[in-house]
């Protein structure tokens, strides 16, 4: 089994990019439509359209580094490509390549028609069967099982970082970008902490308190993603402040089952939120549990 190599262990970050990402000639790419821009300096997401036969998998999507970036921002931006380029799994966003030899610097990925899972669910509130929702969760768990076997810890697993294609296939994305964003006081999702920014509502207690990020802390986050999916994109812990969330979880409060959530799924969420990280299920176990539930659909009819 291949093991993930941290691009920051390379003395020259460009060497990591060359090793793990294919360089794409800028003449093969045309920017068709801007679909979003990061609020912090140096970031923008764009929809990219290749010229005919230039790239596989149809229209790719991607991100560009804004003009005026620092060398550090360029390194951090391209580290995402160096990470993504090491992964090959149907539930992990696929890297097509990078543009580094001309401006703007680009990361080009496969295009996901339905964008981020949280907003997709909110737009389609109540429109899917339980089996469809469990299928989405199974795909995310399969992608995370692959990452854990690669010894990669995501640290920021959340519905906003899952992309959805036209076939409702969910793919894990965002391998580093969020950790390099500058502070945005208007967005309380990430809270500054010693050594970086933490998405409190999705993060395991030991990771918040001691910066202990492991596959087990990713499992905790996965439980929150399950809750997001079954609630059609509700905000975890609703309007509680981040500090109130920390205090509540410390006092063993756990999110209640979303409306019409099968008991078996809420129990799996609770298993992911066990305080002792060694007692949480592994992603392989989560995949097996979801497979059993999909095979035995009657078990999903018992509502929590």
Q: Which residues are catalytic?
A: 156
Coil, strand or helix at 83: helix
For 149-154, the CB contacts below 8 A with 24+ separation are: 149/1, 150/1, 150/2, 150/3, 150/4, 150/86, 150/87, 151/3, 151/4, 152/4, 152/83, 152/87, 153/213, 153/214, 153/215, 153/217, 153/218, 154/218, 154/221
Q: Vertex 66, ends 62 and 68: CA angle to 5°? A: 155
Cα–Cα distance for residue pair 304/158, rounded to 1 Å: 23
> Could you give the angle at the alpha carbon of 143 between the alpha carbons of 268 and 76, nearest 5°?
120
Distance CA 253, CA 242 (A): 14
Q: CA-to-CA distance for 28 and 49, rounded, in angstroms? A: 9
Q: What are the helix (H) ranges across 203-262?
A: 205-210, 215-230, 242-250
């Amino acid at each position: 089994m291949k093991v993930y190599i941290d691009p920051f262990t390379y003395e020259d970050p460009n060497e990591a990019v060359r090793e793990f990402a294919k360089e794409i000639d800028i003449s093969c790419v045309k920017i068709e439509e801007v679909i979003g821009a990061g609020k912090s300096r140096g970031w923008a997401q764009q929809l990219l359209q290749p010229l005919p036969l230039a790239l596989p998998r149809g229209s790719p999507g991607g991100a560009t580094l804004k003009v005026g970036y620092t060398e550090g921002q360029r390194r951090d931006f391209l580290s995402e490509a160096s990470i993504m380029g090491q992964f090959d799994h149907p539930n992990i966003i696929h890297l097509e390549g990078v543009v580094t030899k001309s401006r703007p610097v680009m990361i080009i990925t496969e295009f996901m028609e339905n964008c981020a899972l949280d907003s997709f669910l909110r737009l389609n509130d109540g429109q899917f069967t339980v089996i469809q929702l469990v299928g989405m969760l199974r795909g995310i768990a399969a992608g995370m099982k692959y990452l854990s076997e690669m010894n990669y810890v995501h640290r920021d697993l959340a519905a906003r970082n899952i992309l959805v294609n036209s076939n409702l296939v969910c793919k894990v994305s965002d391998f580093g970008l969020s950790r390099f964003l500058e502070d945005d006081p208007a967005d309380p999702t990430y809270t500054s902490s010693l050594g970086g920014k933490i998405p409190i509502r999705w993060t395991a207690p030991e990771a918040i308190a001691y910066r202990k990020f492991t596959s087990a802390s990713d499992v905790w986050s996965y439980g929150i993603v399950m809750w997001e999916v079954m609630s059609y994109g509700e905000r975890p812990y609703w309007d509680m402040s981040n500090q109130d969330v920390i205090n509540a979880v410390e006092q063993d409060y756990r999110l209640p089952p979303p409306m019409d959530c099968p008991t078996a799924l809420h129990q799996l969420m609770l298993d992911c939120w066990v305080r002792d990280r060694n007692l949480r299920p592994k992603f392989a176990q989560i995949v097996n549990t979801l497979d059993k539930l999909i095979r035995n659909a009657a078990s999903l009819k018992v509502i929590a």
